[in-house]
Structure 1
Amino acid sequence: MNLTLNRSSSLKSSLLLISPFFLWGTAMVAMKGVLSQTTPFFMAGIRLVPAGILVLLVAWWLKRPQPQGVKAWLWISLFALLDGAMFQGFLAAGLTETGAGLGSVIIDSQPLAVALLSSWLFGEIIGFWGSVGLGFGILGISLIGLPKEWFDALFYDQTLAITFNGSDLLNSGELLMLLASLSMAVGTICIRYVSRYADPIVATGWHMILGGIPLFFISGMWESNQWTAINLQGWLSLGYSTIFGSAIAYGIFFYLASKGNLTSLSSLTFLTPVFALSFGTLFLNEVLTSWQWMGVSLTLISIYLINQRETIGKQLRYLRVKGLLFSKRTLGKLS
């Protein structure tokens, strides 16, 4: 009976850990699908402000304490700037020039920055196997997101210097996605400091509202016809991105980020492009190449290595010690 309960609890914990990345990946597909009917900054604001209100209502129902003091609001404001306005703004603007899968791939390179910053600021140990896992992850998302022609040229002919054009990459929206990735990485680090002065769930709600207001301001100043062309399916897609892709996903992620190991949690972000590419294939006809399938496999391996890095190290040390003892006994018998 206890074994059954433990397995059930472990399964629920695993699903809880994975859920934000599933929701983010599918929300990217929903956002890309509705972007032809609206404008990027309006969409970014819609994804944040209503979601923040929902999170605060849940926090009120759970009787979570509201932020108190200047330091709490200063940290929440910084959090709102980084992970609210900058991340969502860069993401929405970049998504106009990239596919849902590719955009998700670039954004989800942020675990490398999180791992390095967490090691420096919080003393989280990456270790050998964690570093190997991060390397696999970066290689995996590169295979998923970079042009197929680059890898074909690298392995099958000598025209890589001709086919590679860095200016094409920077001028097509990928740079905005990279800036979104860096904003999210610093925002993930920031939640550790925010949680010292405010409840993480309440802070998540307020950072969405405060971060969304500048996006609506930018939309009002420089965009037009933000909602006139949105049909019922478009509003449903926006609703999904707001409720599931923001309110629920962010609430779970930043609650976990305030409690657990940031390197391990952030490494699961590599799952987001896998979900984005899979559902993009189903709903947006985004087809995966053989290189991308290889990248998906490496991504999954990287997640396992990063999250099991301590266990792998202990097992290898145990096998090494056991092997040395066996060798000494064998030599003793021979002598």
Structure 2
Amino acid sequence: MQLQLRGSKSPLASLLLIAPFFLWGTAMVAMKGVIPHTTPLFMAGFRLLPAGVLILLTGGFMARPQPQGWKAWSWIILFALIDGSLFQGFLAEGLVRTSAGLGSVMIDSQPLAVALLSLWLFQEHIGFWGWLGLGLGVAGISLIGLPDELIIHLLDSGVNIPAFNWENLLASGEWLMLLAALSMAVGTVLIRFVCKYADPVTATGWHMILGGLPLWGISSAWESQQWQNLALTEWLSLSYATVFGSAIAYGFFFYFASSGNLTSLSSLTFLTPVFALLFGHLILSEVLSPIQWGGVLLTLVSIYLINQREKLGGNKNMTSVPEITPSISQSILEASGTKKVNSISVAVRESEPEVLP
């Protein structure tokens, strides 16, 4: 059994490609009410260990091969340490020490690091339109995540913004979110090396188990009251974040990352805060400001530019994962009850990616 995407232009292919980012965004919304009632490292481990078991069970059902040899296990252990323990640990600790907006901006800026690493290691072409798209993506998620008053203050006063206590940046935890973003970026690149020796599905499952064990070990030694204050609703939120926001989301993401253009795939991470924002608007009736809608628009434009950079630059020889091209943005905006913005749309296109067995 395998995931067939080659040449597919069906709505299912589009949904599978954007599924990880939708699930990550909605999982962040689900975790909002859980964080005050548990401890960060226990929560991080809970998102990894059960999810890894689910992925391995699914891989067994799909007859995916288990890792063989010391090289496979060495890469998986390194993958587990960086993308499992470090990423989830930094993320969980950062979430309780930073504002949700600024933290989200920092964690979702990791496509920049992925682009630089991919350029260095795999010589992936980025070009003018790609760099412009990455810049617009960071600007877009900044408009989404940062407080409106901070953005207005920046525009009015330039770089001098003492009212926001930037001197306490490290103490407030944003540096942990930056380390989490860098860990995820390195993990995204590592999957290419892991898949030289192991199947991407089973490797993802084992890396989540091996990455979650140290988090629970440290939690048991240093934290207390990890689950005593969790009510049924919090357990349900944790379960959603584990099954959908971890097992399914990471399974799809690393499957796609194992073959194709990492810069294009990673750029879809910019969709995560968009989905979180729109989900909060639709389900929780959160009011979105014009600045935030401007951020949504910039984010969708950035994804279009990154994924169409070869065509815009006149180079059509590019192998990549299924790319975003003009109708997801229209669907997102229309689903939220807003008007179409400049007819920008997004749909999933294939450029003949390599399909793993």
Q: CA separation of 1:97/1:286 partners in 2, compared to 1, >3 Å: closer, same or farther? A: farther
CA RMSD of aligned residues (A): 2.2
1:85 is aligned with what amino acid? Answer: S
2:296 is aligned with what amino acid? Answer: V
The corresponding residue for 1:64 is 64
The corresponding residue for 1:255 is 255
Counterpart Cα distance in 2 of 1:153 and 1:288: 19
Please give the residue correspondences for 1:119-198 in structure 2 after superposition, counting only pairs within 5 Å.
119-157=119-157, 160-198=160-198
Higher mean alpha-carbon deviation, 158-167 vs 238-247, is at: 158-167
1:39 is aligned with what amino acid? Answer: T
Q: Residues 140-180 of structure 1, C-alpha deviation per residue, up to 9 Å, x if partnerless?
A: 12222334333222323579343353223332222211111
The corresponding residue for 1:43 is 43
**Aligned-residue offset at 1:8:** 7.5
1:296 and 2:315 equivalent? no
**Aligned-residue offset at 1:284:** 6.2
Q: CA separation of 1:10/1:93 partners in 2, compared to 1, >3 Å: closer, same or farther? A: same
Counterpart Cα distance in 1 of 2:24 and 2:200: 19
**Aligned-residue offset at 1:285:** 7.0
Counterpart Cα distance in 1 of 2:158 and 2:115: 35
Q: CA separation of 1:101/1:281 partners in 2, compared to 1, >3 Å: closer, same or farther? A: farther
Unaligned runs of 5+ in 1: 1-5, 317-335
The corresponding residue for 1:305 is 305
**Aligned-residue offset at 1:222:** 1.0
**Aligned-residue offset at 1:203:** 0.3
Q: Percent identical across equivalent pairs?
A: 68
Unaligned runs of 5+ in 2: 1-5, 317-357
The corresponding residue for 1:268 is 268
Where 1:150 maps in the other structure, the secondary structure is helix
Counterpart Cα distance in 2 of 1:258 and 1:158: 42
Counterpart Cα distance in 1 of 2:52 and 2:102: 27
- The number of aligned residues is 311
Counterpart Cα distance in 2 of 1:153 and 1:98: 20
TM-score, reference length from structure 1: 0.87
- Structure with the larger helix share: 1
Q: Residues 233-252 of structure 1, C-alpha deviation per residue, up to 9 Å, x if partnerless?
A: 11110110000000000000
TM-score, reference length from structure 2: 0.82
Where 1:259 maps in the other structure, the secondary structure is coil
1:110 and 2:110 equivalent? yes
Higher mean alpha-carbon deviation, 296-305 vs 32-41, is at: 32-41
2:229 is aligned with what amino acid? Answer: A
The corresponding residue for 2:87 is 87
The corresponding residue for 1:75 is 75
Counterpart Cα distance in 2 of 1:155 and 1:51: 43
Q: Residues 284-324 of structure 1, C-alpha deviation per residue, up to 9 Å, x if partnerless?
A: 676544333222211111001001111222399xxxxxxxx
Structure label with greater radius of gyration: 1
CA contact 2:29–2:280 (8 Å) conserved in 1: yes
Q: CA separation of 1:239/1:204 partners in 2, compared to 1, >3 Å: closer, same or farther? A: same
